[in-house]
Amino acid sequence: MQLRMTNQREIILRELRQSGRHLTADELYDLVKKIMPRISLATVYRNLEILSEAGIIGKLEISGRQKRFDYDPEEHDHIYCVVCHRVDNFELDRHGINIDTLPQVPGYTVTGCRLELLGICPECRKQQGQ
């Protein structure tokens, strides 16, 4: 199925990519509204879900927090600041990870893995005097 790239989707996608960050729908709405003042938050949410389902962007559901949307849909891992909730990418050498050697979970078929690290980002560390 070919996804039709509407003007709204193009602007949402462009703003997410230009931000270079992992934005919530609310944060992205604030950016898009400057360009399209009549767009609704529901429209932004709906289009983010559509773009995510189409594999054009990634969707992060981090430990019960508000969903964030990732401009990079490729497989990668994240580090999450427990103070300000910032999310950044980090590179993990996956060559040493063999899914077949991971512990088995009864009833599950493991299809992949994603690592989420928790920590304190450089800005928050600076504010804390670390």
Structural domain spans, the chain: 7-70, 77-127
Please say if the pLDDT value at position 96 is more than 80.
no
Yes or no: is domain 7-70 CATH 1.10.10.10? yes
Please say if the pLDDT value at position 113 is more than 80.
no
Please say if the pLDDT value at position 38 is more than 90.
yes
User: From its phi and psi, is residue 63 left (phi > 0), alpha (psi between -120 and 50) or beta?
Assistant: left
User: To the nearest whole percent, how much of the chain has pLDDT over 90?
Assistant: 46
Q: What is the pTM of this model?
A: 0.75
Pairing label, strands 68-70, 77-81: unpaired
How far apart, in Å, are the Cα atoms of 68 and each of 3, 12, 61, 65?
21, 14, 7, 9
Query: CATH second-level architecture of 77-127?
Result: 2-Layer Sandwich (3.30)
